[in-house]
Amino acid sequence: MKIYNFNINRNSKCFIVAEIANNHGRNKGRAEQLIKLAAEKGANAVKFQTFLGKDIVSEKQLSSDYDYAPAQKYKYWYQYLDTIAMPFEWYPELIELTHKLGIAFSATPCSIERAKFLVDVGADSLKIASMDNNNIPFLRKVRRLGIATIISGGIIDDKNFESALSALGYPQKKDLAVLHCVSNYPTKPEDMNLLRIKKLQEKYDLPIGFSDHSISNYGAFASVAMGAKIIEKHFTLDRNLEGPDHSFSLCPQELGDLVDGVREIEAALSVSPVRADRHCADRMYRSIRYVKDLEKGTIIKEEHLEIKRPPDGLEPKYYDDVLGKILIKDVQAFNPVRWEDFRD
């Protein structure tokens, strides 16, 4: 699949997404700062969430149903959601900034109306959240938009996930990717279930990645070693800021560490036709050597030989072949053993 200027496939480098989500705090300057920092630290894309409160929950859903203190000043949950949603008028300018910095702009739409808006405003890809991966009518409508789409595999079981991918157009749709995900915030290491990445790779001919909600980068690094081609991590300026996602988000230095680590792992996983350590052979290998001066006619025994550096004589694999040979000349202690020392 292609997202903006990036081709993503099983042989490509990992596509790293800094998920700003709602960590902009409805502060446009902060949103711009986060985009610039994501690009500076080496991310390939930023991602936001696009919604109105009523896109997600019923108007009767009470804030008291959620264990989140900042929302309790509002009677209904949608009222709180509206206070953290990114204003729609910001999008054109933020997308322009993102492209100017050479990275992609993605967002998670929470209704088909928001998905259409994102396509119209120039987003490079859509991300389907775990909460919508069983929303088959929504997925069918997203498919018709003809835009690169990444779907998260949190919560859903394998059978229903097949239905979700089918609704998005798999296997015909080519600009589609799947992220393994555990929808716990934050995710504990013992709950990551990273071996699922291998199962998804075996089952679907698609780029497979990891939407990582853990605090550290270790799970993301492990997923890259397993072949993940997309890594998505929440990103913030400061984990102490008020908002639902800051506490499990990466800070700028940690995002830089993620990118550097992923690139180093990718370099380490490369296959070279030439061993990079072959030049060490002349210093590190051993060869068969004489332990004392020996006269012509001596029959070689174990007591006459040692195996030590440097490797300028016969290789140790010929040790047994040398035993019993008869010298045709005098040799000195510590000199390398060579075939020309013996009669045929």
Q: How confident is the model at residue 158 (pLDDT cuts 50, 70, 90)?
A: confident
Q: How confident is the model at residue 220 (pLDDT cuts 50, 70, 90)?
A: very high
The confidence score (pLDDT) of residue 174 equals 84
The confidence score (pLDDT) of residue 177 equals 97
- Model pTM? 0.87
Q: What is the mean pLDDT of residues 165-182?
A: 95
- CA 131/CA 183 separation, integer angstroms: 9
pLDDT at 279 over 80: no
Q: What is the mean pLDDT of residues 129-153?
A: 96
The confidence score (pLDDT) of residue 242 equals 86
pLDDT at 344 over 90: no
The confidence score (pLDDT) of residue 330 equals 96
203: left (phi over 0), alpha (psi -120 to 50) or beta: alpha
225: left (phi over 0), alpha (psi -120 to 50) or beta: alpha
Contact 119, 147 (CB under 8 A): yes
Percent of the chain surpassing pLDDT 90 = 88
The confidence score (pLDDT) of residue 281 equals 73
Q: What is the mean pLDDT of residues 242-271?
A: 93
Domains of the chain: 2-268 (3.20.20.70), 278-341 (3.90.1210.10)
Three-state SS at 107: strand
Spatial CB neighbours of 134, under 8 Å, sequence gap ≥ 6:
155, 156, 160, 163, 164
pLDDT at 283 over 90: no
Structure tokens at 3: 């997202």
Three-state SS for 222-278 is HHHHCCCCEEEEEECCCCCCCCCCHHHCECHHHHHHHHHHHHHHHHHCCCCCCCCCH
Instruction: Give the residue, 276 or 111, on which the prediction is more confident.
Output: 111
Percent of the chain surpassing pLDDT 70 = 99
Average pLDDT, the chain: 94
pLDDT at 251 over 80: yes
Q: Which helix (H) or strand (E) holds 32?
A: helix 28-40
